[in-house]
Amino acid sequence: MTSQELFEQIRSKRSFLCVGLDTDLKKVPQHLLAGDDPIFEFNKAIIDATAPYCVSYKPNLAFYEAAGTKGWNALVKTVKYLRGHYPGQFIIADAKRGDIGNTSQMYARVFFQEMDFDAVTLSPYMGSDTAEPFYSYAGKWAVLLALTSNASARDFETLKLENGEMLYERVLRTSMDWGTEDNTMYVVGATQAAQLGSVRAIVPDHFLLVPGVGAQGGSLEEVARYGMNKRCGLLVNSSRGIIYASGGRDFAEAAAGAAAQLQSQMSMLLQKAGL
């Protein structure tokens, strides 16, 4: 999927919502736990309920790896279900990988060739050779960590270098040469909305994956104000605020309601931006 194709999905659905599938067995409704595959059944219900309101899904791999082989199998089934029933959805593996070249080749193979994700999140801090294998797959994306929403991001990401720029700004400027706006996206946390302007000054045309709206307290309006570009250029992720909107039998309906509410706000923001 190219950036233009992603924008066309956004414009068609009047939404730039990414639903985070951070599926925790401890939070799955009790009535699903008796089944053979409660993680997948939960995901399937969430997907069916929220697909009309979003353009992307982002499984966080830690939640599946924590459940061992059952969790990994549920992840495989989730991706296959999305591909079979909602082929227009942009699927991101939130894996935050980043290792030496031969190891990265294996990561790229499993996420892009074996599992057919559209994109994978990567840590860029070991340099370009850790990302190169992911760029060898046509139509696939590298999503590079830039300025994250966690409180201790300031430990490294906002350190000032000798020339006065911050470390995350160096990451943006350097990694722009690794790929293009059709295969490189950047993670910028919603709680860092005020700094989205400086991010946009460096990468005006790239898509940004923005977590932190909802449960983490980020403002959707501020994200749009500082981060939106002429093709929207945003995928705003909400995880807990949608998938755990209810812990009862109505969990899917509650998720649909939460996603619909965000989609409605996004539609108004797109309209305001003339998109």
Is pTM beyond 0.85 here? yes
In a 10 Å sphere around its CB, with 0-12 CB exposed, 13-18 middle and 19+ buried, how is residue 167 labelled?
middle
- Average pLDDT of the chain is 94
Rounded to whole angstroms, the Cα distance separating 267 from 14 reads 5
Q: What is the pLDDT of residue 234?
A: 97
What's the sign of the alpha-carbon dihedral 121, 122, 128, 130? negative
Residue 15 has pLDDT above 60, yes or no: yes
Q: What is the pLDDT of residue 158?
A: 86
Strands (DSSP E) found in 172-233: 184-188, 207-210
- Hey, how many other C-beta atoms are within 10 angstroms of the C-beta on 77? 16
Q: Do 118 and 90 form a contact (C-beta atoms < 8 A)? A: yes
Rounded to whole angstroms, the Cα distance separating 47 from 18 reads 11
Catalytic-labelled residue, pool 27, 44, 96, 140? 96
Q: How do residues 156-179 score in pLDDT, each as one tens digit?
A: 988 999 999 999 999 999 999 999
Q: What is the pLDDT of residue 155?
A: 87
Give 51's Cβ-side CA count (13 Å radius).
17
Q: Do 218 and 193 form a contact (C-beta atoms < 8 A)? A: yes
Please report, for residues 60, 89, 144, 222, 238, the alpha-carbon distance to residue 219 in angstroms, rounded to integers and kept in the order given. 22, 24, 22, 5, 11
Question: Which band of pLDDT confidence, cut at 50, 70 and 90, is reported for residue 214?
Answer: low
User: CB neighbours of 109 closer than 8 A, spacing ≥ 6?
Assistant: none
Q: Is 272 a catalytic residue?
A: no
Q: Do 17 and 53 form a contact (C-beta atoms < 8 A)? A: yes
Q: What is the pLDDT of residue 101?
A: 84
Residue 62 has pLDDT above 90, yes or no: yes
Q: Do 1 and 90 form a contact (C-beta atoms < 8 A)? A: yes
Question: Which band of pLDDT confidence, cut at 50, 70 and 90, is reported for residue 216?
Answer: low
Q: For residue 122, what is the enclosing H or E element?
A: strand 119-122
Q: What is the pLDDT of residue 192?
A: 67
User: CB neighbours of 154 closer than 8 A, spacing ≥ 6?
Assistant: none
What's the sign of the alpha-carbon dihedral 176, 178, 183, 189? negative
